[in-house]
Amino acid sequence: MFRFLPPPILGTLVTGLFFINTVFWASVLFFFVLIKFMIPIHRWRNACSRILTFIATHWIDGNSLIVQLTQKIHWDVRGFTDQLSPDQSYLMVVNHRSWSDIFILQHVFNRRIPFLKFFLKKELIWVPILGLAWWALDFPFMKRYSRSFLEKHPELRGKDLETTRKACEKFKTFPVTVINFPEGTRFNSAKHQAQNSPYRNLLLPRAGGTAFVLSCMGEFLSSILDVTIVYPKKAVPPTFWDMLSGRVSDIIVQVNYLPLPDNVSGKNYVEDDDYRNQSQDWVNQVWSRKDQQMDAILTEFKGDRQQHTRIITLEAL
């Protein structure tokens, strides 16, 4: 019945339900955060981290249930196989269209692979409730510097990559899925034109984050998951509010499995020119295939909606 409410009312209702779900699980989570903070014993903190991840997994379950009850979304998830395992570690590279992307990834992959962690802008640590939760769950916070700023302060060059290295050391403790958005920001037409991007559907990718994770964690990773998110009915990427208010009706998620590049462990992306160039070439190749795949998906969807025979409903996910 909620699905037929007017969009502003539905969006407000779903936002409220998300808030209640978040506050409930955050209250449980913060209890163990306090224990983790007060007892500086390595094994104990590792045990607390597992409990915190368990709690966060149930928070995602709650968000998915809310959307299941309030939204009518057709999900087309392609490329899933029984290779996925919650006991193996993955690097996931994803295009970035909307704030909805995070929810989509959590919803589709929750419990199928290890808990998803991604790099956050340092300013997001101040987000009420979520900022502290991300910190407790060992999400890495990074401060990005502009090129002009680094020219004035060269001593800060490479600081963001050093943050990546420290985060990756924590990720080696137990299985994890590290998400990287190589575009570094959400796609829109203005950014696309400003970059003069050679890709029709994507911004220019940056190889630094991906290369650094591979360098630090290559021997611990099972494979690379190349994930492409497409909102086929939206010429302009939808906002998270669009999703909450029922304005997103179709979501396509394509999953490709990529082998790990050879001889990447221990490489220095900052100082090794060859490795840096090879990494950028590799990411560019992935992005070129992703762009072609997005074109094919959009052409298929526009050609005949009825040909989509692999729709997976929210109830099935």
In-domain check, residue 172: yes
Looking at residue 213, its pLDDT comes to 86
* Residues sharing a CB contact under 8 Å with residue 316, sequence separation 6 or more, in sequence order: none
Q: Is 56 part of any domain?
A: no
Residue 115: inside a domain, yes or no? yes
Tell me how many domains the chain contains. Answer: 1
Contact assessment for residue 164 and residue 91, using Cβ atoms and an 8 Å cutoff: no
SS3 state at 178: strand
Provide Rg for the chain, Cα atoms.
20
Q: For strand 250-258 and strand 221-230, is the pairing parallel, antiparallel, or unpaired?
A: antiparallel
* DSSP sequence for 94-154: E----THHHHHHHHHHBTTBSPEEE-EEGGGGGSTTHHHHHHHTTPPEE----HHHHHH-G
Does position 221 have pLDDT exceeding 80, yes or no?
yes
pLDDT band at 311 (very low <50, low <70, confident <90, very high): very low
pLDDT (tens digit per residue) in 184-217? 899 999 999 999 999 999 999 999 888 888 888 8
Query: In the 3-class helix/strand/coil scheme, how is 195-246 assigned residue by residue?
Result: HCCCCCCCCCCCCHHHHHHHHHHHHHEEEEEEEEEECCCCCCCCCHHHHHCC
| Residue 22 within a domain | no
pLDDT value of residue 192: 94
Confirm whether 147 is domain-assigned: yes
Q: Which residues constitute the domain of residue 129?
A: 73-312
Query: Average pLDDT for residues 280-284, to the nearest whole number?
Result: 94
Q: Is residue 63 part of a domain?
A: no
Whether 159 is in a domain gets the answer yes
Instruction: Enter the pTM of the model.
Output: 0.85
The 8-class DSSP code of residue 268 comes to -
Question: Residue 283 and residue 279: Cα distance in Å, rounded?
Answer: 6
Q: Residue 155: inside a domain, yes or no?
A: yes
- For residue 310, the model assigns a pLDDT of 46
The tens digit of pLDDT for each residue in 101-151 reads: 999 999 999 999 999 988 777 788 888 877 878 888 888 777 666 566 666
- Pairwise CA distance, residues 252 & 231, whole Å: 6
- The answer to whether the CB of 101 falls within 8 A of the CB of 94 is yes
Find out whether 164 and 216 touch, Cβ atoms under 8 Å.
yes
What are the tens digits of pLDDT across the range 8-58?
Answer: 999 999 999 999 999 999 889 888 888 887 887 777 878 888 899 999 999
**Which residue has 């611990």 as its token pair?**
220
Distance CA 146, CA 26 (A): 34
The model's pLDDT over 50-87, given as tens digits with 9 standing for 90+, comes to 899 999 999 999 999 999 999 989 999 998 777 899 99
Dist. CA 67–CA 13, nearest whole Å: 11
| Domain CATH for 141 | 3.40.1130
